[in-house]
Structure 1
Amino acid sequence: MARCFPDPQLAVSDSNAELIVFRALSEQLGPNYVILHSVAWISRPGGGGPREGESDILIAHPALGLLVIEVKGGRVALDYRTKTWVSIDGNDVAHEIKNPFEQARRGKFALLEKLRESPAWKKLGIRRFNIGYAVFVPGVSDGDRLRGPDAPVEIIGDRRDLSNLNAWVEQAYIYWDSKGGANQPIEVRGIDAVIALFARAVSTRPLLSARITNEDDARLALTKRQAAVLDMLRRQRRVMIAGGAGTGKTLIAREKAVRLASEGMRTLLLCYNRGLADHLREQCAGIEALDVATFHQVCHRWIDQVGAKYGRDLLSEARADLPRGHEFDQHMPLALAVAVDMLGPIYDAIVVDEAQDFGDEYWLPIEMLLTRPDEAMLYVFLDENQDIYRRSSNIPVPGEPMVLDRNCRNTDAIHAAAYSHYRGTAVEPPEIAGVNVERLLASDMDKQARSIGSLVTKLVVEEGVAPHEIAILLCETNDRSARERALQRLPMPAVVKLGRVEDFGPGCITVDSVARFKGLERAVVILWAFENCDVDRDRETLYVGMSRPKSVLFVCGTSEACDRIIG
């Protein structure tokens, strides 16, 4: 049985006649033959404009050469005086058709042009080989009446030949072998070149950028589940919402703040990290009655207002009152409380994200900012496992927290790696499988930097990932400057620049610490600088760093360190 492309039983065509001939050929010709059905191509002969070519059936044989076959169904009639060809279907309806012999001849020469363009064919060095064409009319038993000056009977097949196609095919090949055996055989390599050109099996690997887009579409559906929590918050004024990394806390916090402001309430969306505040502020731009800031940005704003209005330096006063106090955890909260007491509260609702990072002294001035503390709305979002700043907050919300228990940011593979460092209420993995966490193994910092540089180039140039969708996060920062310099020395694509969280924008890859990146996410994260991390002592840092990527996580370090943090 001949080798066929496609499988004769799977072949489809508008022409039943083509399928009849193709399947009969497949059954009768021997294993040395290759038969291709419905072949089409575009060539550029001589470097000129594109020229289309096609063949209903193409037969290839290592010794006999190539044969192009045009198939016509129904009863075929012609008038050589007017050069008119007609096909009459089963309902006796006549359809004017093109000259099938001219079509076959054009197919032959277009095929030659395409072969001459093929690098694989050129390598064969074949100068002369047998190539011909034929016409098959399986619907009639008197096909020889179609013979004419351009249609010798030797290249016409009809219903009578369907039972002995091996002899008919050899007859057509012999007719075209005008060189009397002087033609070169195309051999098996020629057959392989034809298959590679017209019937090669192609398996495409989606670009990482396409996978990221597809995963984001699935992620949107998952996130909608978490957004249902918003409806439950409508009837509650003080609520604490807890959930692991990727459970949608920040998204729900932002959306709740937007809805409150849209309902006419002066609202403050508060967080700890500046990078997250900048990100949220950009997303909420243009929404009236909504302020977005870090806690310490609010402190500075109110302290400055008091200085401008009353000429008092509340921060200096707080330092004098608490000479051994901490600037950010005690002096600034105390100064803010005094400022609010002097200027008066202004917010009807406050939404706090990253609440696990807020110190005990933060909550008094936060409550003072509310116009009616007993009636105003306070929504607090936190992840107790993300307390990488080692705070112990007495959050002023009674009762148990509402729990988000589905990861809707990461893939399943990233979830498994990140949540191996998680301690808390069980969180269900996402429904996006994703790719495995990948290791970039190198023995020292400079070699690791070069590995990262090569990876970044591949991601941006070959995989189509936008630079701003990539973050390089450092677990340890004692040698941060040296690592940044090592990256800056590397050759990078011209469209790439490196910056910190606050430099986020088109073309900029974020290089920053895990701590400063809290609350943020990127499609691709490269985790670095964890050689001295202890999986118990630094569990929260590893958890936060590994949970930042949405689609792909790379860990870069020594083999021993990578094994230690991802098991």
Structure 2
Amino acid sequence: MARMIPLLDEERLRAMVSRAEARFYAVCRDQLPNDFLVIYSANWLYRDGRGRVNEGEADFTLVSPTLGILAVEVKGGGVHFDPAVGAWHSIDRNGRSNPIKDPFRQASSERHALLDQIAGHANWRQFGGERFTLGHAVVFPDIHDAVPLLGPDRQRDIVGVNADLGDVSDWVRRVMRFWHQPIDAPLGVRGVRVIEGILCNPIDVRPVLRATVDQAEAHRVRLTANQAKVLRVIGGRRRAVVSGGAGTGKTLLAVEKAKQLADQGLNVLLLCYNRPLANFLAQGLRDTPRIQAQSYHQLCDQRARLAAQAGRDVLAEATQAYPGTGEKLLFDLQLPFALALSAEVLQEGFDAVVVDEAQDFSDEYWLGVEMLLSDQERGHFYIFIDQNQALYSRIAALPIEDEPFRLTMNCRNTAPIHEAAYRFYRGDAIDSPELQGPPITWISHDKDADQADAVARRVHQWINVEGIEAQDVAVLVTKRPKAFYYSLLQQRADAGKVRLAIEMHNQRSSVLLDTVARFKGLESQAVVLWLGDEVLDEELWETVYVGITRGKTLLTVVGTQRSLQTVKEYVCG
């Protein structure tokens, strides 16, 4: 009896929509030898011949220590193929015809996706596996005659019909003989275990970058199936872009990718735009010495100082190239140019660079970043981006031209918060989370003092009545000037004996008071978003999107009647 993943009992098999897949599952389970591993309904990402990223699902993946690996596509009912137009149709029991994808092309794509993931995975390289037999086949359990289905790319050896299921072990051996090459080596028992680990093991990462609800929160976060697929596939690529909306786990994946590379003995630079996020990442990764986590401008400043110590003032040269003063000129042009110049002086580079928040990087940033790779041809370079979160208006052409791998599930926010935030999102569809939660609270007052009172009351309610820890609450301000509104709230917090940490993160027993822009990439269990009319007047919808998505479970929005009415019109459609 083969080992099945997942293991389905008879009740679950009877409940399957595809009777053909249920039947093939049962015959594999009952007839294949016990050294076989059979994986049902595995998901893949792969690139087609044009370099486009596609998502597919292998009906069955059969792994044998002696024969190799076989991707099997199963099609129930009758089928019809029109060679004149290359069209395939399924025929149900009532004789109705429906167009379907070419099952042989599907199976072939699944085979290539398997090779992509296995051969490129670090575990396979460490195992030192040799070339193995890898094939694909299509099974039609309800068809008795295979001859009408055959063609140049549809040899009888890779087609299974009803009669073949009487002895599926013999059929699998025949298929694998067709695919076997003289240079192929058996996987062996260890090889099967390695492949099982690559294709089936869940990916668990410690939440080093969450605003922790409790210091004792040490449970692990299981990535969604979609995230796990992306992380596995990019594991075999030296350069990749990962795209996703707020809450889809980009930063979580960026950290995990950096840790995987460090575990391989590589020196890794983990880079982001926001200083508070960089500090948080550095704190969480302080026990991982091979990873250097910094904000972009922290890195620029550090490299400029090191170059000066080596005898070359690259910042002075950058200032000569871009004369003038002011923070914008310094941050946008002078420091980026100084970073690029530092590569001419400093020999120290990185084996891998991982960039989070790439939407806030401009064209001027990327040259210096790429030059940090010790080997610019074969160095590892990964970019994580949300095109909808570009608060700093610096959207640039990315240095990696491949189509991005996309994350499609929000795994941070509750459904009410997700539904509100994604009204402001422009991009690929992001699935709503299954986690339900309380509705968003909207509080409108037209006077600043009344708004500050409302913010203070909400914070007091959460902490002193509902038992939320102070460090799990954040008040995010979009109003300007921020210092004035900080002061308004500080006065009320002092009166209510609530301790505020103004732009100081991870302070125990303190409520964080900060701006939305500075809090990008971070999250909190409970958020008060203090909205200013500036957002409406300047149409800063990205700020609203980012602000709303910072709250994991509880969200209250405070502002003028005008601002809240406008935002709620977006949210409610």
Matches within 5 A, 1:84-483: 220-221=221-222, 223=224, 225-310=226-311, 312-324=312-324, 326-476=329-479, 478-483=480-485
Do the aligned partners of residues 500 and 258 (structure 1) sit closer, same or farther apart at CA in structure 2, a change above 3 Å counting?
A: farther
Deviation at 1:288, TM superposition (A): 1.8
> Secondary structure, in 3 states, of the residue corresponding to 1:556?
strand
Residue 504 (structure 1) aligns with = 506
Following TM superposition, the consecutive aligned residue runs of length 4 or more in structure 1 with deviations greater than 4 angstroms are 216-219, 221-225, 491-495
Letter in 1 for 2:315: L
2:474 is paired with a residue whose SS is strand
Alpha carbons of structure 1 residues 470 and 424: separation in structure 2 relative to 1, 3 Å:
same
Q: How does 1:552-567 map to 2 (within 5 A)?
A: 552-567=554-569
In structure 2, C-alpha distance between the alignment counterparts of 1:494 and 1:321, rounded to whole Å: 53
Residues 453 and 490 of structure 1 are in contact (CA less than 8 Å); yes or no, is this contact kept in structure 2? yes
Deviation at 1:551, TM superposition (A): 0.3
C-alpha separation in 1, matches of 2:518 and 2:470: 19
**How far did 1:493 drift?**
8.3
1:218 CA displacement:
11
The alpha carbon displacement at 1:373 in A equals 0.8
SS of corresponding position for 2:340: helix
Q: Which residue of 2 aligns with 1:520?
A: 522
* Partner amino acid, structure 1, of 2:321: D
* Equivalent residue number for residue 119 of structure 1: none
SS at the partner of 1:562? helix
Conserved 8 A contact 2:501-2:507: no
Write the distance in 1 (CA, Å) between the matches of 2:487 and 2:349: 46
Please report how far the alpha carbon of residue 454 of structure 1 lies from its aligned counterpart in structure 2 after TM superposition: 1.4
**Structure with larger Rg:** 1
Q: What's the CA shift string for 1:445-468, capped at 9, x where partnerless?
A: 111111111111111111111111
Within 1, Cα distance between the matches of 2:225 and 2:492? Answer: 41
Kindly state the Cα deviation for residue 443 of structure 1 after the two structures are TM-superposed: 2.5
Change (3 A) 1:232 1:448: same
What 5-or-longer segments of structure 2 have no aligned partner?
Answer: 1-212
Displacement of 1:499 in angstroms is 2.2
Conserved? CA contact 2:474–2:528, under 8 Å: yes
The answer (yes or no) to whether the contact 1:526–1:553 under 8 Å persists in 2 is yes
The count of aligned residue pairs is 352
Match of 1:489 in 2: 491
Give the TM-score taking structure 1 as reference length.
0.59
Report Cα offsets for 1:269-328 as digits up to 9, x if no partner.
000000100111111111021100011111111111111221x32212211121158211
Separation in structure 2 between the aligned mates of residue 447 and residue 494 of structure 1, nearest angstrom = 15
Distance in structure 2 (CA, Å) of the matches to 1:247 and 1:377: 23
Task: Determine the C-alpha separation between the residues in 1 that align with 2:368 and 2:247.
Answer: 29
Q: Distance in 1 between matches of 2:452 and 2:349?
A: 49
Structure 2 Cα separation of the partners of residues 231 and 222 of structure 1:
12
Task: Give the whole-Å Cα distance in 2 for the aligned partners of 1:232 and 1:566.
Answer: 40
Amino acid at match of 1:553: L
Contact 1:440-1:557 at 8 Å conserved across structures = yes
1:81 maps to which residue?
none
Q: Displacement of 1:223 after TM fit?
A: 4.6
Q: Separation in 2 of the partners of 1:217 and 1:350?
A: 28
Q: Once the 2 structures are TM-superposed, how far is the Cα of residue 422 of structure 1 from its aligned partner? A: 0.7
Mapped to 2, the partners of 1:225 and 1:496 lie a distance apart of 41
Shift of 1:494: 7.6
Give distance in 2, aligned partners of 1:519 and 1:566.
24
Distance apart, 1:221 and its partner CA:
4.5
| Whole-Å separation in 2 of the counterparts to 1:217 and 1:304 | 38
Deviation at 1:532, TM superposition (A): 3.2
Give the AA of the match of 1:435.
P
Q: Which runs of 5+ in 1 are unaligned?
A: 1-211
Length-normalised TM-score, structure 2: 0.59
Give 1:238 deviation, angstroms. Answer: 0.3
> Residue type matched to 2:352 in 1?
A
Q: Would you say the 8 A contact 1:278–1:502 is kept in 2? A: no
Structure 1 residues 441 and 491: alpha-carbon distance in aligned structure 2, compared to 1, 3 A threshold:
same
Looking at structure 1, the residues matched to 497 and 227 of structure 2 have their Cα atoms a distance apart, in angstroms, of: 36
Q: Which amino acid aligns with 1:486?
A: L
Distance (whole Å) between structure 2 residues aligned to residue 455 and residue 534 of structure 1: 24
Matches within 5 A, 1:523-562: 523-534=525-536, 537-562=539-564
1:269 alignment partner, SS class: strand
Q: Is the 8 Å Cα contact of residues 355 and 382 (structure 2) preserved in structure 1?
A: yes
CA RMSD, Structure 1 to Structure 2 (Å): 2.2
Provide Cα deviations, 1:80-117, integer angstroms capped at 9, x if missing partner.
xxxxxxxxxxxxxxxxxxxxxxxxxxxxxxxxxxxxxx
- Offset of 1:488 from its aligned partner? 1.0
- 1:441: Cα distance to partner? 2.4
Distance 1:290 1:451, change over 3 A: same
User: Which SS does the other structure have where 1:395 is aligned?
Assistant: coil
1:200 aligned partner: none
Q: What letter is aligned with 2:231?
A: L
Calculate percent identity across the aligned residue pairs.
Answer: 38
Q: What is the DSSP-based 3-state SS (H/G/I as helix, E as strand, rest coil) of the residue aligned with 1:316?
A: helix
Bigger shift: 252-261 or 490-499? 490-499
Instruction: Kindly provide the amino acid, as one letter, of the partner of residue 561 in structure 2.
Output: S
Residue pair 1:437, 1:554 contacting (<8 A) in 2 also:
yes
Contact 1:244 1:385 in 2 (8 A): yes
Task: Please give the residue correspondences for 1:25-44 in structure 2 after superposition, counting only pairs within 5 Å.
Answer: none
Q: Partner amino acid for 1:415?
A: H
